[in-house]
Structure 1
Amino acid sequence: MAINYYSALTQIVLVGFVCFLCPGMFNAVNGLGGAGQLDTKATNNANTALYSTFIVFGVAGGGIVNLFGVRWTIFVSGFTYALYSASYIFLNHHPRDPSFTIATGALLGAGAGVLWAAQGLIMTSYPRENERGRFIAIFWTIFNLGGVVGGILPFAINFHSTKDQLSDGVYIAFVVLECIGACLGLALAPPAKVKRLDGSPVVVAQGTSVRSEAIGILKLFLNPTMLALLPMCFTSNFFYSYQFNHINAALFNIRTRGFNNIFYWGSQMAGSLAISFVLDTPRLKRRMRGMVALAITFVCFNAIWGGSLALHNKYPEGIKAGSRMDFTDSKNAAGPIVLYIVCGLSDALFQSLAYWVIASLTNDNQDLARYVGFYKGIQSLGATVAWQLDIKASALRQLISNWVLFGCAVVPMAMVIWRIKEHLETDDSQVSDDVGTAGELPEKDTLKDQYIQA
């Protein structure tokens, strides 16, 4: 069967591979704990800088993408990932000077905010209403394959190493892959030419401006639904610092950290695929699909935090460098490794559900870009707090904070899910594209009316 370049599915796969090579490689490095460094302080400060700028550019990212389009914003943003990975080569040789790594972290926060807004626009607006769970799963599977490959690299290269930090060669491999990912962004088709699986076009509104985008972004903070989702957004990346630094980095040697990441990100692929069957099943009404998915996520998260508490009680101070567990020590390592894998699966459940909830709020792709930007911005606020908390607070306090924050997010999420409509009044898959077969633009007033109806 011939591949249709302009199909929504092809574009989802393409943006999945962009994220496989850019954020996927970043996740692989970060997932090692301390980005593969023996001392995690430099990475904690770099991540604080990263998520501080991500807050601003995450919220503003939707407006930037609406103004400049998905291809060039992804292309430019992708190179900030490569620069960040390259900074660790410098840090390897100048361990007492983390300033370059922290500066590139701040720059990456700006790039990542825009890239994820563009990705979110594609993932939430290209599929039809009954395909969103499946499309999210396809993207999440390809994206997290990057973390799997990124876990294989340090595992293989450092297999015979006795050091507890990554070599220059591993970081160079990450830089090369991230540069390829940035260039792949230019291969994306203009949204106006994309067709859904049933042949209907993706509607792209025209005539946006800096002023209208600024107003649209500010209105998000007065939107009751988005305010209700604030706890969900805030906590959705909060747990990474604890899982990466206090489970993976604190207990395992460097090759086992890479080994663990293969399965951590691999379990994310399995989790996103599994929950997609719940989110797209025709057997349940839309709100019930969301509620069942939320219940599954609730059970899994309580299981991992309960298991983390038991693990913390066993190793309250972690394990000293040089004595950390190896994956061959099955008697001691098996339990913590399984817990870490389930952490990855639970993350995929939460993220997939969050995107599905956001995608269920509207079919207007400009609004979706802003909603995803809001989600990523507030998510980054939570991550900023978490990475600084990792420096200043004990591991136990971080664990409790994660558990409490997740509990606070569940109730408002349930309220929003319960109010999701079975079908939006007008699905923009039924509306003509802004570039029709005759190449004519629709009247702006007509397009505006269509969005008002939706």
Structure 2
Amino acid sequence: MRYRSPQAQLSIILAYVLVLLGVSNVVSPSAFKLLEQNQPAISLYRTSWPGQLVVSVSGILGIIATNVAGPRCVLLFGSLAGIAYSTGLVVSQYKIDGKWYVALLVVEDIGHTILTVCLVTIMLTYPRERRKARVLAMFQFLVNLSLTLGQVLLRDPEAGKEAAWTRLAACCVALGIAPWVAPVSGVVRDSGVYVVAQGQEGLLQEIRGLGYCLWTRSMALVVPFMFCCPFLLGTLGITFPDYLSVLLYNGGSLCGVLVLGFLLDIGSSCRRTRGLYGFTVTSFMLVVCVVAMAVLNTEDKELRGLFYSAVVVNGMAVSCVFLFSGWVIGSLSNDVEVTARFVGVNMLVVPGLGSLAASACKAGAHWPLYVGAGLAALGSLGMLVVVWRISDTNTWELARVRPAGSVVDSEQTTTYYEQSSIAKIPL
């Protein structure tokens, strides 16, 4: 394989993210409105349990695809899924009847979920420990900012036609960028430099490794938190009745990324202290959401200001949960295969199940909110234990979480210069 410098590899990945996620997210709100008008089944899929179920199942597929097929194939599949969905958006302007639009949306969700597992894994594995929060925050900020710009700039329904064509063009460009990404799999630590080598994992080995990870102590402590937080946020019952509420939610998401990203990046020289800062901020946002919605549920009169405040804090809480959980996973492992398994399970599969359980609760009932608050409090104890055990020694607790007979030493110094690229991210 031809050697690529870290700067070149990082530039290629950033270009892919900017084109596929940046441009696509900017134009997606307007283009989706056009498709939703022609196909009401699309809206039903988005707001009901099938959408969350697809995300949960796709998280497992993302783990297998990242570790077995490799990021290059995942990026190609994500681009093809985007092209298929964008084609449906373009065709929808001609008002052609057919239920295949829902199938295209399912393919898009699968591709987007698999792509998310791959990109988050790369961003948590490439950089050094002090850069993980910064890189992940940059990625999340870009996604939230592009969605916000789409809501602000493309409010006119007539802009949906041009937006659909623009999204299709962006996905085609991303398809051309993906083959330039180097194959990525097992990461080995070599004198402070990450060596990214092509992996040898097979499907059965990956399934076995995933099952082995599920029985680890860290997984047992993190999973309850990642299930209870989305369940709690889903039981809040926050809706977006007007355009202002949507903007406030997106603005809260951006603020949450900036605040928590700053604390996790340069909040302290001690890694455990930064983790405790992140845990405190995330827990505080969740508590404020619960208190605000509890007050709104008990008051008969309309408290507009409190509702908008709850929407802002809800956006901050969602982004904080995602960023904080990613930082915790990145602080436990520098092994790309193990990281992919923890990212897929704890950031997509388990949260999807939590949201699915929340959607099954009785709409408008008060008891799910209090049950969710109690479960989130219990789940937070496990996450607090994990954060408290994080140290500055870089022991990489999860670097050896593999089936017997396939242990990889996190301090191994073997390099593979003929078939690998050095991925030391200069950020």
TM-score bin (small chain) = 0.7 to 0.9
Q: Report the AA paired with residue 113 of structure 1.
A: T
SS at match of 1:363: coil
Q: Does 2:150 correspond to 1:150?
A: yes
- Kindly indicate whether residue 321 of structure 2 is the aligned counterpart of residue 347 of structure 1: no
Work out which of the residue numbers 15, 19, 22 in structure 2 matches 1:20.
22
Mapped contact 2:83–2:172 kept (Cα < 8 A): no
Matched, 1:416 2:386: yes
Q: CA, structure 1 residues 100+309, in 2 after alignment: closer, same or farther (shift >3 Å)?
A: farther
Q: What one-letter code is carried by the residue in structure 2 that aligns with 1:341?
A: V
- Residue 311, structure 1, aligned to residue 313, structure 2: no
Residues in 2 aligned to 1:119 and 1:61: alpha-carbon distance in whole angstroms: 10
User: Is the Cα–Cα contact under 8 Å of residues 124 and 132 in structure 1 kept in the other structure?
Assistant: yes
Separation in 1 of the partners of 2:195 and 2:6?
Answer: 14
Determine the structure 1 residue equivalent to 2:197: 204
- Name the % identity: 21
- Partner SS for 1:379: helix
Deviations 1:64-123 (A, max 9, x none): 11222213312322443565577678899999x995454344333432332122112111
Q: CA RMSD in A?
A: 4.3
Counterpart CA distance in 1 for 2:14 and 2:154 is 26
CA distance in 1, matches of 2:77, 2:222: 30
Q: Tell me how far 1:11 sits from its aligned partner.
A: 5.4
Q: Could you say which residue in structure 2 is the equivalent of 1:381?
A: 353
**How far 1:313 moved relative to its partner?**
4.3
- Indicate if the aligned counterparts of 1:58 and 1:374 stay in contact, CA closer than 8 A: yes
Gaps of 5+ in 1: 159-165, 319-331, 443-454
Give 1:222's aligned amino acid: W
Q: Partner of 1:326 in structure 2?
A: none
CA contact (8 A) 1:304 1:343 kept: yes
Q: Distance in 2 between matches of 1:139 and 1:441?
A: 25
The residue identity in structure 2 corresponding to 1:220 is: C
Question: Equivalent residue of 1:206, what SS?
Answer: coil
Q: Which moved more, 1:176-185 or 1:403-412?
A: 176-185
2 CA distance for matches of 1:264 and 1:177? Answer: 29
Is 1:216 aligned with 2:188? no
Kindly indicate whether the alpha-carbon contact (under 8 Å) linking 2:23 and 2:167 is maintained by their aligned counterparts in 1.
no
| 1:446 corresponds to | none
Q: Distance in 2 between matches of 1:102 and 1:398?
A: 30
Q: Which runs of 5+ in 2 are unaligned?
A: 400-408, 422-427
Q: TM-score, normalised by structure 1?
A: 0.72
Q: Distance in 2 between matches of 1:140 and 1:213?
A: 28
Whole-angstrom distance in 2 between the partners of 1:237 and 1:181:
34
The separation in 2 between residues aligned to 1:399 and 1:37, in whole angstroms, is 33
Q: Is the Cα–Cα contact under 8 Å of residues 82 and 179 in structure 1 kept in the other structure?
A: yes
Letter in 2 for 1:20: G
Q: Distance in 1 between matches of 2:165 and 2:367?
A: 36
Sort the Cα spacing of 1:179 and 1:147 in 2 relative to 1 into closer, same or farther, 3 A: same
- Could you tell me how far apart the structure 2 residues matched to 1:206 and 1:396 are? 50
How far is the alpha carbon of 1:282 from its aligned partner? 7.0
Q: Secondary structure at the match of 1:119?
A: helix
Q: Secondary structure at the match of 1:49?
A: helix
Tell me, in whole angstroms, the C-alpha distance in 2 between the residues paired with 1:38 and 1:398: 34
